[in-house]
């Protein structure tokens, strides 16, 4: 799916800004043909939750409505006009002038609809109804309930089955873009590097709609120099003396695609791409023929006020903070991040593990200590109870369609912390891995990241994965505060994985300790900045002792907002930066360690 850009044949109307907003109290039916009553001003893109300073809005579960007027300049009416949402969380019904024109389920991928037939000259009323309901059929997974209050009114409640706040709203840019009536619909670029000869074969496949006499593809380098020119919709070229996209040293080529009628360029789109080779050989993760070592983070899209909404200044800052401490990668835990962030990572050379929103696939997930005390908490029965397979297939399709050309995307993560140890997990996951592998023409490695209950002897799905990705909290959730015992347990587990899969790379995709900025102790007490540093030093020793260990992505880059819970004090505090991105003490230790570990060639 192409990202909307302005070219000589395409333009964009930006619909970001102040919209009207109201929560749906489900007392009176809302008519999408009329302006919303008693609506408040709200900024788009952003989560709605933290903008209005009202408890009932922040905690609202159910439906909300957004509205704005749209006027299309007359000169644009001859073009094909497409309304595009970067995302709408989690389910959207879109109306123009009272007519439903599209519907999309899934809060982290873009969708679009042609709107020529629904528009009139002058003002048009654009209304979006959103649901933030998550249940056992959606991704992420929510515990959904409906009760009735004292007045007989239905009360909906979504209890997150995961550890981040269920922010919702129009999270990403909304645009109307134009294309000619005959247009370039999609571009798929697959580079194949010949490292020995320093060359690359680049395959470009173009989907078009309408009639073109010819399609021309020109490959340009960063100096705008033409390196190849081809005609056709499935074309190959070979680039000699190729500039590779390297971790932290990005190089981007551009494929300029032109649809031609009678010698005239009717439509034109330019797609950036990087050329790099990813391979897994004998327990190592190679980029461009050298073993790569992941240093970085699990993150969140989470900032003050914007919530999970796009915040480009924070994206830029986060990447610069990563660079400042010698990191080279992150995982889009626990959902696809904005297209804007992916484009930035292409430019900056950040290596990304691109994750679906499959989080919460575990009936036993619980932060409820009273339930634990009164008999073991929730029951394990995930694969018979949850019905997320269809949603899971859909997000894999939509994620790969969106991100397939990104050089920064080096691994797909199919899920985070599912019940991979339960009976039925293999049957659930095998078709998902097969689908991802079939759809991705670049054949990137696929993985899932596993929870501590999924051990070498209990994981039912590890044979499916290309990399063993572990979320491990030895010394925090287990052996809490006892780093000596934790170190032994962590090292012992890695040995078992190495024995089981001598040829699969192993990495940590989460490890961390809640730490409150400004808490200190002489006695290595948990929650203090000293303990956080001791914890990371302990883990570093374990990693360095494991031959096939290819990376450390800690949890979390920054403190982030979660649902209420007795394990959370205004959110999760495992950040090495706080939510404002101020460093905790451990940042100095990590900077020293990571700056001394090269991105390529660390463990030969
Ligand atoms: C893991 C989850 C992550 C949590 C983290 C934690 O993948 O979402 O925030 O642990 O508990 O279970 O801090």
- d(CA 163, ligand 1 centre) in Å: 6
**Is pLDDT of 604 > 90?**
no
**Ligand 1 atom nearest residue 473's Cα:** 10
- What is the set of active-site residues? 417, 510
- Binding-site residues, ligand 1, Cβ < 6 A: 162-163, 334, 416-417, 471, 510, 555, 572, 574
Label the pairing between strands 63-71 and 17-23.
Answer: antiparallel
The alpha carbon of 107 and the centre of ligand 1 are apart by a number of angstroms equal to 20
Rounded distance from Cα 440 to ligand 1 centre (Å): 28
Report yes or no: 531 and 514 within 8 Å, Cβ to Cβ: no
Instruction: Work out the angle between the directed axes of helices 529-544 and 483-500 (0-180°, nearest 10).
Output: 30
Mean pLDDT of the chain: 97
Confidence of residue 371 (pLDDT cuts 50, 70, 90): low
The pLDDT tens digits of the residues spanning 60-89 come to: 999 999 999 999 999 999 999 999 999 999
**Residue 26 predicted with pLDDT over 80:** yes
Amino acid 603: pLDDT = 81
* Tens-digit pLDDT profile for residues 540-593: 999 999 999 999 999 999 999 999 888 999 999 999 999 999 999 999 999 999
> Which residues are within 8 A (CB) of 59 and not within 5 positions of it... i.e. 6 or more apart?
none
| Residue-level pLDDT at 395 | 98
* Residue 367 pLDDT level (bands cut at 50, 70, 90): low
- Mean pLDDT of the 380-406 span: 97
pLDDT in tens, 136-174: 999 999 999 999 999 999 999 999 999 999 999 999 999
pLDDT digits (tens, 9 = 90+) for 165-184: 999 999 999 999 999 999 99
CB 181 within 8 A of CB 210: yes
Residue range 106-127, pLDDT digits in tens: 999 999 999 999 999 999 999 9
Ligand 1 centroid from CA 474, angstroms: 13
Ligand 1 centroid, distance to 472 Cα (angstroms): 10
458 neighbors 493 (Cβ within 8 angstroms): no
The owner of tokens 């006009």 is 81
> CA–CA separation, 90 vs 393, rounded Å?
16
Most ligand 1 atoms within 8 A of CB, residue of 297, 555, 559, 569 to mutate: 555
The closest-lying atom of ligand 1 relative to the alpha carbon of residue 162 is: 8
Taking each helix axis from N to C end, the angle separating 529-544 and 586-595, rounded to the nearest 10 degrees, works out to 20
pLDDT of residue 368: 63
Among 360, 452, 510, 574, the mutation site with the greatest number of ligand 1 atoms within 8 A of its Cβ is 510
Q: Count the Cβ atoms, other than its own, within 10 Å of residue 94.
A: 25
Candidates 335, 417, 573: which one to mutate for ligand 1, based on the most atoms within 8 Å of Cβ?
417
- Rounded average pLDDT over 183-208: 98
- Whose Cα sits closest to atom 3 in ligand 1? 163
Count CB neighbours of 105 within 10 A.
16
pLDDT tens-digit readout, 487-499 = 999 999 999 999 9
Q: Are 468 and 504 in contact (CB under 8 A)?
A: yes
Q: Which atom of ligand 1 is nearest to the CA of 560?
A: 9
């Amino acid at each position: 799916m192409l990202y909307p850009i302005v070219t000589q044949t395409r333009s964009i109307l930006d619909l970001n800004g102040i919209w009207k907003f109201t929560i749906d109290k489900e007392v009176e039916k809302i008519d999408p043909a009329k302006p919303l009553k008693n609506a408040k001003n709200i900024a788009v893109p952003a989560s709605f939750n933290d903008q209005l300073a009202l408890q009932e809005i922040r905690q609202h579960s159910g439906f909300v409505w957004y509205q704005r007027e749209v006027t299309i300049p007359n000169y644009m009416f001859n073009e094909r006009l497409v309304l595009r949402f970067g995302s709408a969380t989690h389910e959207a019904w879109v109306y123009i002038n009272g007519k439903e024109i599209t519907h999309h389920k899934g809060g982290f991928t873009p969708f679009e609809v042609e709107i020529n037939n629904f528009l009139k000259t002058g003002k048009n009323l654009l209304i979006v109804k959103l649901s933030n309901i998550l249940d056992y059929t959606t991704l992420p997974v929510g515990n959904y309930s409906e009760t009735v209050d004292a007045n007989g009114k239905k009360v909906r409640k979504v209890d997150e089955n995961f550890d981040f706040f269920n922010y919702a709203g129009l999270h990403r840019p909304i645009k109307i873009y134009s294309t000619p009536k005959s247009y370039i619909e999609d571009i798929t670029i697959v580079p194949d590097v010949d490292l020995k000869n320093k060359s690359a074969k680049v395959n470009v496949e173009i989907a078009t709609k309408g009639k073109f006499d010819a399609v021309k593809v020109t490959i340009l380098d960063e100096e705008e120099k033409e390196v190849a020119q081809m005609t056709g919709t499935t074309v190959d070229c070979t680039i000699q003396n190729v500039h590779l996209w390297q971790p932290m040293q990005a190089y981007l080529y551009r494929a300029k695609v032109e649809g031609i009628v009678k010698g005239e360029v009717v439509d034109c789109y330019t797609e950036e791409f990087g050329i790099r080779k990813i391979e897994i050989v004998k327990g190592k993760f190679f980029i461009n023929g050298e073993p790569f070592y992941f240093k970085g983070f699990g993150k969140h899209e989470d900032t003050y006020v914007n919530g999970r909404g796009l915040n480009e200044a924070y994206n830029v800052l986060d990447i610069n903070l990563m660079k400042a401490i010698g990191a080279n990668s992150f995982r889009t835990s626990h959902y696809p991040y904005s297209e804007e962030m992916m484009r930035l990572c292409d430019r900056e050379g950040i290596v990304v593990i691109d994750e679906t929103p499959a989080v919460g696939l575990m009936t036993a997930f619980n932060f409820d200590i009273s339930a634990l005390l009164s008999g073991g908490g929730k029951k394990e029965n995930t694969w018979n109870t949850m019905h997320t397979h269809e949603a899971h297939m859909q997000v894999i399709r939509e994620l790969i369609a969106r991100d397939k050309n990104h050089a920064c995307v080096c691994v797909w993560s199919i899920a985070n912390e599912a019940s991979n140890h339960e009976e039925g997990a293999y049957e659930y996951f095998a078709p998902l891995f097969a689908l991802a592998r079939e759809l991705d023409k670049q054949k990137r490695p696929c993985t899932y990241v596993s929870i501590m209950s999924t051990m070498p002897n209990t994981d039912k799905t590890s044979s499916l994965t290309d990399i063993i990705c572990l979320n491990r909290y030895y010394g925090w959730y287990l052996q809490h505060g006892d780093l000596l015992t934790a170190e032994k347990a962590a090292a012992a587990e890695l040995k078992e994985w190495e024995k089981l899969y001598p040829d699969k790379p192993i990495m940590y995709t989460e490890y961390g300790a809640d730490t409150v900025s400004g808490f200190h102790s002489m006695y290595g007490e948990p929650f203090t900045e000293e303990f956080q540093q001791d914890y990371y030093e302990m883990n570093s020793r374990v990693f360095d002792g494991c031959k096939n260990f290819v990376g450390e992505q800690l949890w979390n880059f920054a403190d982030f907002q979660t649902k209420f819970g007795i394990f959370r004090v205004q959110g999760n505090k495992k950040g090495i930066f706080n939510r404002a991105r101020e460093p905790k003490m451990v940042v100095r230790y990590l900077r020293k360690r990571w700056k001394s570990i090269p991105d390529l060639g660390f463990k030969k």
